[in-house]
């Protein structure tokens, strides 16, 4: 392809960047207000995002069930706030997620996703299990093809979906209002200039910051094409990004095939336990909730909350610590399950991300049977903590400090473990807010032509480069830096050195690409570098440790310091500098 890049210009009232769960919901809802809605998606919305290959769980406050238990929405929020986030959560946002999640489930049902089962003893015919909270609050459902259904619904409503465009820059006016965004077609190699009256940023998480444990590139639990593009874009536009320091130590899970089955309290309930080589239980199994009791007894809300807070750390032992003490090996053990329980789990896995393929592999290649065999529990690769812990700073209407720029889902910061309900509720709400914003605005605002030229130049340089490096080479060097200087134990001098080395790479190294595909990958690595730098800077700024729940540890400040640091740390770019501010945590 020749190196003169052509720009496509697209006008849209609402632009949604990232077509995952949050982005699709945003687009779907925004269309209810009329106006042109466009989703720009790096991959293909049919299979993109953390739910791209499926999802089997959504938590919610479920009135038909929870009211019968005598469990209120405040009880759920207290459980989430205390047991999961340990207070470190935006009260307004978790309120939004908790209140709206059930309604979004009903919407999904309208879109063709099944939540009801004939063999269920639960009101509504749902399948509900305990995962996140002190009572069962999580729907298990047929979520494997959720992205297909959402895509179809979006198209049905007249949303324009543009796949295979990686977005690189936000465009805004000097007085802080969004005017559009820029991206690059990863197949056609064209520059895409979007003029928009409102933008919803929903590009998900920031992965690929660390080396993959198995050495098989791409073998990661969460999608490796989610490279924190939205955070990088937001940061470059001066939007505050919060909680980037919380890049956690590696956890143990099913090894070496990294996928989303988490701890034994997630998808492999209730029969899943973790045992050691001598079959001694490290984490016990659980049992299905006794739904016969529903309505007959009120739940002792305080007691179950207390129980959750006690058992949660117990069922999440520090496996890396145990390994370093010579303990192990560890195994996931479902062999005590009844046939009914194992079938339930296999069904559940088959709907979770990568799960269908995983089951096929286990059965046909490994001749593995959960009824008889165990799977070893091994180190997985590192990740940013708790889904939407880190991300863009937004208000309760999901708007950032740039007017008209909204964020949703894992793009948003301050809502640890908001997970899929966060994506669905925030997506919906952001879509609505964006659509309303667009309606209030008559004309498109001017876009910064310089940025368009910059992007064109960047791409040309990559194509013409002789001395530039292949993106994999740069990524490897960056990951080594993040692993070494922002490891499990951080300290001032190490973080400073890491920043120095990362900035040196950013300033002195250039990319070389042969085609638009490699261009897309190179742009991802630029995001990774930006996110990596944010991790290092935020880590340096937080002069305390916060092991629970984030695993954040500073050797030079080994204690938690709630007085000074029970806040979200926000970093924003101001010219050449990066400024930090403390954001009070709203209850």
| Ranges within 254-273 binding another protein (CB under 8 A) | 254-258
| Contact between 459 and 193 (Cβ < 8 Å) | no
Does 380 interact with another protein (rule: CB under 8 A)? no
Q: Are 134 and 308 in contact (CB under 8 A)?
A: yes
Distance separating alpha carbons of residues 45 and 27, to the nearest angstrom: 12
* Long-range contacts (CB closer than 8 Å, 24 or more residues apart) made by 461-464: 461/510, 462/510, 462/511, 462/512, 462/513, 462/519, 462/522, 463/1, 463/3, 463/513, 463/514, 463/519, 464/3
Please give the residues from 43 up to 72 whose contact with another protein meets the rule CB under 8 A. 43-44, 46-48, 52-53
Q: Work out whether 195 is an interface residue with another protein (CB under 8 A).
A: no
Q: Locate 340 and state its tokens.
A: 């009914």
Which position among 323, 403, 436, 586 is part of the footprint of another protein (CB under 8 A)? Answer: 323
* The one among 517, 543, 582, 587 contacting another protein by CB under 8 A: 517
Reduce the DSSP state of residue 192 to 3 states and report it.
strand
**What span, in angstroms and rounded, lies between the C-alpha atoms of 99 and 103?**
8
State in angstroms the smallest separation of the CB of 503 from another protein: 15
Cβ closest to another protein, residue 42 vs residue 572: 42
Query: Any contact of residue 542 with another protein (CB under 8 A)?
Result: no
Of residues 285 and 490, the one with the C-beta less far from another protein = 490
Comparison of 302 and 515: residue with beta carbon closer to another protein: 515
DSSP 135-190: S--EEE---TTHHHHHHHHHHHTT-EEE-SEEEEEEEE-TTSBEEEEEEEETTT--
Closer residue to another protein (CB): 96 or 378: 378
Residue from 358, 428, 511, 568 touching another protein (CB under 8 A): that is 358
Where in 332-351 is the site for another protein (CB under 8 A)? 335
Nearer CB in complex with another protein: 476/585: 476
Residue from the set 185, 223, 240, 270 that interacts with another protein by CB under 8 A: 223
Residue tagged 């739904």 (tokens): 291
Say if CB 337 and CB 271 are below 8 A apart.
Answer: yes
525 binds another protein (CB under 8 A): no
Name which of 169, 106, 168 is nearest 421 in CA terms: 106
| Interface pattern 271-290 for another protein (x via CB under 8 A) | -----xxx------------
CB of 14 to another protein, least distance (A): 23
Q: Which of 328, 454, 567, 583 binds another protein (CB under 8 A)?
A: 328
- Residue 31 in 3-state DSSP? helix
Decide if residue 4 touches another protein (CB under 8 A): no
Q: What would the x/- binding string for another protein be over residues 446 to 485, using CB under 8 A?
A: --------------------------x---x--xx---xx
Interaction of residue 508 with another protein, rule CB under 8 A: no
Give the separation between CA 388 and CA 246, rounded to whole angstroms: 11
Q: How far is the CB of 25 from another protein (least distance, A)?
A: 19
The residue ranges of DSSP E strands in 492-586, in sequence order, are 567-574, 577-584
Residues 484-503 that bind another protein (CB under 8 A): 484-485, 487-491, 493-494, 496-497
Least distance (Å) between residue 440 CB and another protein = 35
Stretch that binds another protein, among 68-76, 215-223, 418-426, 429-437 (CB under 8 A): 215-223
Say what the alpha-carbon torsion angle 183, 186, 188, 193 is, to the nearest 10 degrees. 0
Nearer to another protein, 225 or 550 (CB): 225
Q: Which is nearer to another protein, 8 or 44 (CB)?
A: 44
One symbol per residue from 159 to 178: x for binding another protein (CB under 8 A), - otherwise; what is it? -----x--------------
247 binds another protein (CB under 8 A): no
- Give 61-81 as a DSSP string: --HHHHHHHT--HHHHHHHII
Q: Does 34 bind another protein (CB under 8 A)?
A: no
Rule CB under 8 A: is residue 527 a binding residue for another protein?
no
Shortest distance in whole angstroms from residue 424 CB to another protein: 20
Whether 368 and 375 have beta carbons less than 8 Å apart is answered as: yes
Q: What is the four-CA torsion angle of 67, 69, 75, 80, rounded to 10 degrees?
A: -110
**Binds another protein (CB under 8 A): choice among 369, 449, 559, 562:** 369
Nearer to another protein, 100 or 524 (CB): 524
CA distances from 231 to 239, 436, 553 (A): 9, 24, 23
**Closest approach of another protein to the CB of residue 502, in Å:** 13
Of 180, 379, 422, 532, the one binding another protein by CB under 8 A: 379
Size of the site for another protein (CB under 8 A): 82
572 touches another protein by CB under 8 A: no
Q: Which is nearer to another protein, 102 or 192 (CB)?
A: 192
Q: How far apart are CA 534 and CA 193, in angstroms?
A: 27
- For residues 230 and 228, give the distance between their C-alpha atoms in angstroms, rounded to a whole number: 5
Cβ atoms within 10 Å, residue 367: 8
**What contacts 24+ positions apart, CB below 8 Å, involve 298-304?**
298/69, 298/70, 299/69, 299/70, 299/71, 299/135, 301/70, 301/71, 301/72, 301/75, 301/134, 304/134, 304/135
Cα–Cα dist 58/131, whole Å:
10
State which of residues 33, 68, 86, 211 lies at the interface with another protein (CB under 8 A).
211
């Amino acid at each position: 392809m020749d190196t003169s890049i052509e720009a496509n210009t697209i006008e849209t009232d609402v632009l949604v960047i990232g077509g995952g769960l949050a982005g699709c919901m945003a687009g779907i809802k925004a269309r209810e207000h009329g106006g042109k809605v466009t989703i720009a998606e790096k991959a293909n919305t049919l299979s993109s995002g953390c739910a791209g290959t499926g999802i089997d769980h959504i938590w919610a406050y479920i009135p038909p069930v929870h009211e019968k238990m005598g469990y209120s929405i405040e009880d759920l929020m207290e459980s989430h706030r205390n047991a999961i986030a340990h207070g470190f959560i935006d009260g307004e946002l978790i309120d939004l997620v908790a209140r709206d999640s059930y309604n979004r489930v009903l919407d999904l049902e309208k879109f063709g996703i099944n939540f009801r089962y004939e063999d269920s003893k639960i009101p509504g015919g749902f399948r509900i299990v305990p995962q996140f909270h002190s009572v069962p609050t999580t729907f298990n459902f047929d979520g494997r093809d959720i992205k297909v259904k959402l895509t179809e619904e979006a198209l049905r409503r007249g949303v324009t979906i543009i796949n295979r465009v990686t977005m690189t820059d936000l465009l805004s006016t000097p007085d802080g209002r969004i005017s559009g965004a820029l991206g690059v077609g990863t197949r056609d190699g064209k520059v895409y200039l979007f003029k928009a009256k409102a933008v919803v940023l929903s590009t998900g998480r920031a992965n690929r910051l660390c080396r993959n444990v198995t050495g098989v590139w791409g073998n990661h639990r969460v999608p490796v094409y989610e490279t924190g593009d939205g955070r990088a874009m937001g940061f470059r536009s001066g939007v505050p990004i919060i909680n980037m320091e919380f890049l956690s130590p590696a956890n143990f899970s099913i090894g070496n095939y990294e996928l989303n089955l988490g701890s034994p309290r997630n998808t492999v309930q209730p029969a899943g336990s973790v045992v050691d080589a001598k079959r001694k239980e490290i984490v016990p199994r659980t049992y299905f909730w006794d739904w016969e009791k529903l309505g007959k007894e009120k739940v002792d809300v305080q007691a179950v909350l207390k129980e959750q807070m006690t058992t949660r750390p117990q069922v999440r032992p520090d496996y890396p610590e145990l390994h370093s003490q010579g303990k192990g090996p560890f195994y996931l053990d479902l062999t005590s399950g009844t046939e009914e329980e194992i079938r339930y789990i296999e069904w559940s896995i088959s709907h979770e991300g990568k799960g269908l393929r995983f089951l096929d592999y286990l059965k046909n290649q490994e001749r593995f049977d959960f009824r008889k065999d165990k799977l070893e529990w091994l180190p997985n690769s590192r990740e940013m903590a708790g889904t939407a812990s880190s991300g863009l700073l937004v208000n309760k209407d999901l708007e950032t400090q740039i007017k008209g720029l909204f964020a949703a889902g894992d793009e948003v910061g301050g809502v640890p473990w908001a997970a899929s309900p966060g994506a669905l509720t925030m997506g919906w709400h952001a879509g609505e807010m964006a659509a309303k914003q667009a309606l209030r605005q008559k004309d498109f605002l001017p876009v910064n032509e310089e940025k368009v030229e910059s992007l064109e130049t960047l791409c040309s340089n990559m194509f013409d480069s002789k001395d530039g490096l292949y993106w994999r080479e740069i990524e490897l060097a960056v990951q080594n830096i993040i692993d070494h200087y922002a490891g499990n134990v951080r300290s001032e001098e190490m973080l400073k050195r890491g920043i120095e080395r990362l900035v040196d790479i950013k300033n002195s190294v250039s990319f070389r690409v042969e085609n638009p595909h490699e261009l897309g990958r190179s742009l991802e690595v630029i995001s990774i570098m930006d996110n990596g730098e944010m991790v290092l800077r935020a880590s340096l700024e937080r002069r305390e440790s916060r092991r629970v729940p984030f695993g954040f540890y500073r050797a030079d400040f080994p204690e938690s310091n709630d007085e000074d640091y029970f806040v979200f740390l926000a970093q924003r770019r101001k010219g050449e500098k990066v400024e930090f501010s403390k954001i009070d945590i709203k209850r």
